[in-house]
Structure 1
Amino acid sequence: MRILLTTLGSRGDVEPFLRLAHALQRRAHEVRVIAPDDVDAEAEGLDVVGLGLRVEDLAVAQDVRQAMRVFRERIKPAMSRALASVVAEAMRWQPDVIVSHPKLLTVPAVASRLEIPHVLVELTPVVTATGAFPAAGTTTRDLGPTLNRMTYRLVALSARMFRDDVAMAARRLGLGRAPALPAPARTLVPISPALLPRPDDWPPHTSLTGDWGAAGTPIRVDDELETFLADDAPFVYAGFGSMTGGDAAVRGAAIVESARRRGLRVLVSTGWGGLAVPARAGGDDVLVRRAVPHDAVLPGAQVAVHHGGAGTVHAATRAGAPSVVVPFLADQPFWADRLHRAGLAGRPLPRNGLTTKNVGNALDDAAGRRGAVADAAAVMSAERGVEAAAAIIESL
């Protein structure tokens, strides 16, 4: 089969698709990935086509007025280009099936024109409605079955911001002005049931495949990081990924000092700017990197302090590292709440209110949850989510 994978977003949106691409290649399929230009195609060993944008260039600080301006001036035009790019590349390559991130709203139009199935990958619960819990990114309160289901309609309304792009794609594909576009043939949810059990009211075509797991290939790290990881002295990992805004240095100082008081080293991933280590907090017990491979560093961490993105939540739990979650936005409060409800993390900490005291208390709390996290990691280690996903795609 010729299988086209299309994704858009930061690390947590891209890495699952790359793992799926490798799995499909191992099963002798011809695979192409359309992804942001941030992806290093050569390093991944995949056929990757860029969308013509770098997601990091579109990062928005958590200030509402600034976010609205950046959306109008940068994000909306970039998204329009990406939606058109997916259509053009898919029509050139002529796949047998398309597997897509929900953000790429023009994929159903392409699938209709080519008369092929398309598969949706729901990385976090925002598409498939359920009465069991509200859509991620809306509220963490259980509103009851009826209102919980209504929150998914609210999320779906966000697609209207790009309805002109979808309509233009449909016209260019010869589908008419307002065609009835096909629903996904299947929806794949790469979430571990150890973190989120499958709701009873999900439809049969939605599959909770389980965690899509680690890369399964050797991971290269630089010499200094390798030496840091080889040291037997315990350490805390801290990283907020693609998050930005607020006083990053205050956050970094609070984390470093609270860990230091407990005799723990700190590995800091500064990411896109949400975390920094001021000079006064540095030392031989602190190693700072802009980014690190989670699958290489988290298995050795005593605790992982992170923002609560779906990918990081799975990586930390899979590695057996208890989490201290500092959610910023979107689905992160949802995952912070799920980990807390499952007994795998304490209550989340405020992103603009980190102190040596509350971080220290959270580190102590996390240390007491190692047994529960180890049990969840054992469950996840037996999951073969990416292979289950590949088999479902083949069945189409």
Structure 2
Amino acid sequence: MLIATAGSRGDVEPFANLARRAVAEGHDVLLVVPDRSGVDLDGLDVASLGVDFNRMITDQGVSALGAMRSFRSVVRPLMRAVIVETAKVALDYRPDVVVAHPKILSAPLIAEALNIPHVLVETVPAMTPTSAFPAAGTVTRNLGRANRLTYRAAGMAAAMFRSEIDEAARLVAVSRRTVASPVATLMPISPAILARPGDWPDTVHLTGPWLDDRAPGVVDPVVAEFLEGGPYVYVGFGSMAGGDPIERARSVVQAVRDHGTRAILATGLGGLDVPRDLLGPDLLVVRSTDHGRVLPRAVAAVHHGGIGTVQAATRAGTVSVLVPFIADQPFWGARLHAQGLAPAPIPRRALTSKRLTAALADAASHQGGVDSAARTMNQEQGTREALSVIVSLV
């Protein structure tokens, strides 16, 4: 089994959890990943793509404009490595099935060359058309029947990297014009977060999140002591880096203090930069922390709205306050608010202490809906269900 992914931590962690589950059930697995994702890969056979998405984010942030400016010098070489190196690894490994993130644009070519099933993993709903909602990362307003048109955006990626895909096609000796569609699509998303549309084909499987089945590790003593000190808000923007992280930290800290509680601030890859004059016993500043330990006891979770954090918070029974930056994050902000699972999202550029204070005050009114979703999510076996689908295809 070849499992391949590309991106930052949120793109790697579910795939690592799937690989670990497959190994535990006796399957031979090679996991293809970028370097330095921050994900625990112990016990897994790993092949490197030779690229570092976290470094790219740290160097240029997450703005679309920054990506456009560095397209030729940074983005295109990085995606060439993703597309071509995965094909090289697959030719050497000769798997029975390839399970791939949408960024692995060579996955259909690999499947065609080796005559094996290709399983697409849609980490967010952006490629399988539906009239129920627009593609994540496009618009947030429901366009009705026109929602299906927004899914054409996914095809633009293949067009942008046509020469790299052609290079991979030559490498594996197939024509990219003759490759078949995936035999199955897996979405590691809970139906409690996203109801399955009636117009999706039966080959699409909404499994629930892919979680790490291992026992949680030991909590840092400093974090453990803070957790015992009373109510707190968790604040973290993951791999997001953009705008002024110091001013953002000032707004967040002021809002939390106005709300009358403490906060754990996870600085991540640069979403927050807490100046010394803000520090106090009511704040704990860390680079990152274990969501499984911290979120269940938080009174609210302020975050960017990546699907991993959305599901971790909801499964923990903690109301999210979303501050979307880019891509699919506004989609999740709109979906959660529409379902009564979160206050209205606050766009990154519109974040102020006043708006965040109001959202934190509103969070309690959404607790009932989140508690109901959490009960559903804690019954899900997403990783096991996904693996069952994959095994049935081999």
Q: What CA distance in whole angstroms lies between the structure 2 residues aligned with 1:241 and 1:98? A: 28
Using structure 1 for the length normalisation, give the TM-score. 0.95
Aligned residues: 391
Q: Are 2:188 and 2:209, in contact at CA under 8 Å, matched by a contact in 1?
A: yes
* Shift, 1:183, TM fit: 1.2
String of CA shifts for 1:34-87, please: whole Å, max 9, x gaps.
011114687532112111011111113355543312222111111101211101
Give the drift of 1:218.
1.8
Q: Which moved more, 1:220-229 or 1:199-208?
A: 220-229
For 1:217-249, what per-residue CA distance to the aligned partner results, in whole angstroms no more than 9, with x for missing partners? 2234322122222x1401100011111111111
- Map 1:295-334; keep pairs closer than 5 Å: 295-334=292-331
Give ranges in structure 2 of 5+ residues lacking alignment: none
Question: Counterparts of 1:244 and 1:276 in 2: how far apart (Å)?
Answer: 10
Structure 2 residue aligned with 1:56: 54
Give yes or no for contact 1:219–1:296 (8 Å, CA) kept in 2. no
**Secondary structure of 1:287's aligned partner:** strand
Equivalent-residue separation in structure 2 for 1:40 and 1:155 (angstroms): 27
Which amino acid in 1 is paired with 2:299?
A: Q
Q: Which moved more, 1:255-264 or 1:203-212?
A: 255-264
Task: Say if 2:239 is the partner of 1:237.
Answer: no
Q: Which residue number in structure 1 is paired with residue 149 of structure 2? A: 150
Structure 2 counterpart of 1:256: 253
Distance 1:337 1:199 in 2: 17
Partner Cα distance (1:245, 1:125) in 2? 24
SS in structure 1 of the partner of residue 66 of structure 2? helix
- Measured against aligned partners, the alpha-carbon deviations of 1:169-197 in whole angstroms (never above 9, x if no partner) come to 11222224x54112111100111111111
Aligned counterparts of 1:274 and 1:218: Cα–Cα separation in 2: 26
Q: Deviations over 1:309-368 (max 9, x none)?
A: 111111110111101000011000000001001101111112123222111111010122
In the alignment, residue 211 of structure 2 is paired with which amino acid?
A: G
The structure 1 residue matched to 2:208, chosen from 207, 210, 227, is: 210
**For residues 40 and 125 of structure 2, what CA distance do their matches in structure 1 show?**
32
The 5 A counterparts of 1:115-194 are 115-145=115-145, 147-176=146-175, 178-194=176-192
Residue in 2 that maps onto 1:342: 339
Tell me, yes or no, if the aligned pair for 1:20 and 1:390 is still in contact at 8 Å. Answer: yes
For 1:150, give the aligned amino acid.
L
Q: How does 1:210-229 map to 2 (within 5 A)?
A: 210-229=208-227
Structure 1 residues 367 and 42, CA gap change in structure 2 (3 angstroms): closer
> Is residue 2:104 matched to residue 1:80?
no
After TM superposition, which residue ranges in structure 1, 4 or more long, deviate above 6 angstroms?
none
Q: Indicate which of 288, 291, 300 corresponds to 1:291.
A: 288
If the length of structure 2 is used for normalisation, what is the TM-score?
0.95
SS of alignment partner, residue 192 of structure 1 = coil
Q: What letter corresponds to residue 131 of structure 2 in structure 1?
A: G
Residues in 1 aligned to 2:64 and 2:102: alpha-carbon distance in whole angstroms: 24
Whole-angstrom distance in 1 between the partners of 2:72 and 2:151: 24
Q: RMSD in angstroms over aligned alpha carbons?
A: 1.6
8 Å contact from structure 1 (residues 252, 275) kept in 2: yes
Q: Distance in 2 between matches of 1:36 and 1:62?
A: 17
Q: 1:42 to 1:65 in 2, by over 3 A?
A: closer
Partner of 1:103: 103
Match of 2:364 in 1: 367
Alignment check: 8 A CA contact 2:259 2:360 kept: no
Aligned-partner SS, 2:350: coil
Distance 1:292 1:71, change over 3 A: farther
Secondary structure of the corresponding residue to residue 374 of structure 2: helix
- Say if 1:34 and 1:334 are closer, same or farther in 2 by CA, change over 3 A: same
SS of structure 1 residue aligned to 2:370: helix
Tell me, in whole angstroms, the C-alpha distance in 1 between the residues paired with 2:218 and 2:16. 17
Aligned partner letter, 2:298? A
Query: How many Å apart are 1:159 and its aligned residue?
Result: 1.8
Residues 245-291 of structure 1 show CA distances to partners (whole Å, capped at 9, x for unaligned) of 11111211121122123331110111111212122221111111111
| 8 A contact 2:305–2:329 mirrored in 1 | yes
Displacement of 1:13 after TM fit? 0.9
- Match of 1:83, SS? helix
Gaps of at least 5 residues in structure 1 are none
Supply the distance in 2 between the matched residues of 1:36 and 1:83 (Cα, whole angstroms).
Answer: 12
Q: Quick one: distance in 1 between partners of 2:35 and 2:318?
A: 31
CA distance in 2, matches of 1:392, 1:332: 28
Post-superposition shift, 1:88?
A: 0.8
Q: In the alignment, residue 162 of structure 1 is paired with which amino acid?
A: F
CA contact (8 A) 2:67 2:75 kept: no
Q: Distance in 2 between matches of 1:179 and 1:152?
A: 20
| Cα distance in structure 2, aligned partners of 1:142 and 1:65 | 26
Counterpart Cα distance in 2 of 1:308 and 1:328: 8
Q: For residues 319 and 383 of structure 2, what CA distance do their matches in structure 1 show? A: 24
